[in-house]
């Protein structure tokens, strides 16, 4: 494993970048700032290594932008309506950072802190963070580890383990933005996607808060059960797509704790394919609708829909929806979840 300087945060903390690779020279680069996946290098059908995730050249880029490129999100991924919830009869109010709602745990989310490196090998690294109950105003003090491993079959494994001293929300995800033709290559609308879900959670309006309904994808542009180009239906005259400017919805995968393939993706130009597996109950498919005009790694021009996200997680606002699987973990109980992304040529 190689360790290099990644800049200095606004708080004066030194950030580092860690370079890990497997026997095939498939390489990941992760920084301790936000336990963030900065790069994922994999060879295309011509044997040329492509960087398949969006990111920045140093820690300053991550501090100055709000797209959450590659970051670990926690304690709670996605949205909590009105930035409030109740556990054991007590109401908790957390930071508002998207209209009146809480998105990705607010201004002090896990994506904004320097994580401690606990252990590492040539192809694996474990980050640790102690989250006090004052950090994000969630109940309890929480300890969390995240382990990245790039296996010899070119699978990126992400494993989370957490424990707290009070009943609290634990719902982490990785917010990588994938472009299977390379991070600098432009739109992903022509890339092919398949999501193994019969249902999704519709949203009430542009706030992207679920209605509480579990709706069938049958007969709608939301149906990805058979692979299709991401852009095929993205401009369809369908209210849910109007609300969120394209795809930004949670798909219903099954029971928490059960491993399942959640999605496949493929790029004809590069020949690179992706198989994504998780034990989470939901996956947020985001088509990068609001990336905006940004300058990324190496001066690359990023814009809307230049990457897509597959964020494994509990459903949005699950803590406030009694019919959704609950993201609340009891005090002293272990939170454990695993998600993997396997890259191959097709």
| Catalytic residue IDs | 175, 311
Name the DSSP letter for residue 46.
T
Residue 64 CB burial class (10 angstroms; 0-12, 13-18, ≥19): exposed
Structure tokens at 133: 């109950």
- Yes or no: say if 265 and 274 are a contact pair by the CB < 8 Å rule: yes
- Yes or no: say if 89 and 197 are a contact pair by the CB < 8 Å rule: no
Q: What is the 3-state secondary structure (H, E, C) of 290-310?
A: CCCCEECHHHCEECCCCCEEE
Sign of the dihedral defined by the CA atoms of residues 113, 21, 145, 319, in that order? positive
Distance of alpha carbon 277 from the chain centroid: 13
């Amino acid at each position: 494993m190689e360790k290099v300087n990644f800049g200095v945060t606004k708080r004066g903390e030194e950030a580092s970048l860690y370079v890990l690779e497997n026997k095939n020279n498939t390489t990941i680069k992760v920084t301790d700032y936000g336990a963030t996946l900065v790069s994922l290098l994999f060879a295309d059908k011509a044997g040329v290594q492509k960087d398949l995730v969006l990111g920045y050249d140093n820690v300053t880029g991550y501090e100055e932008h709000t797209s959450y490129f590659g970051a670990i999100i926690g304690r709670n991924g996605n949205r909590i309506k009105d930035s409030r919830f109740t556990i054991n009869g007590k109401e908790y109010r957390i930071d508002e950072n998207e209209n009146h709602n809480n998105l990705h745990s607010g201004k002090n989310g896990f994506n904004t802190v320097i994580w401690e490196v606990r252990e590492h090998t040539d192809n694996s690294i474990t980050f640790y963070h102690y989250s006090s109950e004052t950090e994000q105003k969630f109940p309890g003090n929480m300890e969390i580890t995240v382990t990245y491993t790039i296996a010899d079959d070119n699978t990126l494994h992400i494993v989370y383990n957490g424990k707290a001293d009070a009943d609290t929300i634990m719902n982490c995800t990785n917010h990588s933005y994938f472009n299977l033709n390379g991070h600098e290559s432009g739109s992903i609308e022509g890339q092919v996607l398949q999501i193994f879900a019969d249902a999704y959670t519709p949203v009430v309006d542009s706030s992207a808060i679920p209605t509480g309904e579990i709706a069938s994808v049958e007969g709608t542009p939301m149906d990805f059960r058979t692979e299709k180009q991401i852009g095929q239906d993205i401009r369809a005259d369908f209210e849910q797509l109007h609300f969120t400017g394209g795809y930004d919805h949670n798909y219903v995968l099954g029971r928490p704790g059960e491993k399942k393939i959640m999605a496949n993706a493929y790029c004809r130009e590069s020949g690179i394919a992706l198989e994504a597996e998780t034990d989470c109950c939901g996956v947020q498919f985001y088509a990068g609708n609001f990336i905006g005009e940004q300058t990324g790694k190496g001066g690359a021009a990023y814009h809307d829909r230049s990457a897509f996200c597959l964020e494994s997680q509990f459903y949005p606002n699950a803590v406030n929806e009694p019919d959704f699987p609950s993201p609340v973990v009891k005090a002293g109980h272990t939170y454990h979840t695993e998600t993997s992304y396997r890259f191959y040529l097709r």
